[in-house]
A = this chain, B = another copy of it.
């Protein structure tokens, strides 16, 4: 596998054109002769790999029969429909996770954090399936697996043991969900999750849809526990809609407290949920990541997993139209996600992993606004896709798995 390549005439983050060198899978300009493999980036914008910080690889229906959505309006309706679909549609987590990864690879998505369901019906089968895909496609993409108690944890006896089993099976991160409205006991839910994470020496990622002051209270509980267990930089809160619903002083105080414990926040910029105050979050030094959430599943019928399009959604939800703001949302979907996920060697500097995506656009803002599809994707010095299409031999290999 070619791991050395010279990329001529690329514009990192939309800046001035440079030649980039990848040697033995990492960026590095120093050293001997230039690699013999070379491509002309034609002035396209170079970004490090796009980062998908929040999705559900095990539940996408890509490539399956159309699911007619007649699900009721509440989160509980959706959780029930989701579990029923897993039972009745035969959603194979191994196959479906591979399908989503292959769909988002030509966009340049090279790192993915996936929440994966753990419950008393399927046990840890979905964890095992996604881990199998991760192993099969490890040369193509980095995958982090969150053991996720989608159906609730404490009220469904046995789930916590399954979460423990998931961690022993190889999951990377302990997940949690709505400590109050789903698990009905915020303190015990969070205590259980933090204890599990502490025991396994693993990070935490909690779905928090709780609204207003209830969500703010749950955030306070997380902040206290992060501090008590010295888990700074190892906790992510996903969604955190409440941050968009508080009065200004309360909002700012909470964001500063999250930043002080280096707790990251993931937002998808959903058009139907409260908008998070991205500018304030940036000013306060909060680490912000983004994700597609589930794509094409029983929850939502849409989604393509393109994290450059996600940057556009973030800007649109926040009414941001300035070039500088669009560059910031692009940063959230690259460096922000990498920081939140704790990716090592992420970036375009010497020594960083040789991952990049070339986007045909004049400015970074244009890349976000128009999300051009004809991208070139390079992973550890190997060309995976050109002009938006995966290279042939890669596709033949990967198709077998998907």
Contacts and interface: CB of A to CB of B under 8 A. Distances in A.
Interface of A: 66, 68-71, 73, 269-272, 275, 296, 299-302, 304, 312-313, 316-319, 321-324, 326, 362-363, 365-366, 368-370
A241 to B, nearest CB: 12
Copies held by the complex: 2
Contacts of A369: 296, 301-302
A365 B301 contact: yes
Contacts of A296: 369-370
A275 B274 CA distance: 12
Q: What secondary structure prevails in chain A residues at the interface with B?
A: loop
Nearest to A312: B302
Contacts of A370: 296, 301-302, 304
Given A66-B363, A68-B365, A366-B66, A302 B316 contact: yes
A323 B272 contact: no
Contact of A301 (B70, B270, B304, B326): B326
A321 B69 CA distance: 7
A301 B319 CA distance: 11
Contact of A362 (B66, B71, B271): B66
A323 B68 contact: yes
Which 6 interchain pairs have the tightest Cβ spacing? A272-B319, A301-B369, A271-B271, A302-B369, A271-B317, A271-B316
A317 B366 CA distance: 23
Nearest to A67: B323
Contacts of A323: 68-70, 301
A372 to B, nearest CB: 12
Contacts of A71: 321-322
11 contacts: A68-B365, A270-B316, A271-B313, A272-B316, A272-B318, A299-B321, A300-B321, A301-B323, A301-B326, A301-B365, A302-B312
A312 B66 CA distance: 17
A304 B61 CA distance: 27
Nearest to A373: B373
Of residues A70, A299, A316, which shows the largest number of chain B Cβ atoms within 10 Å of its Cβ? A316
A301 B208 CA distance: 32
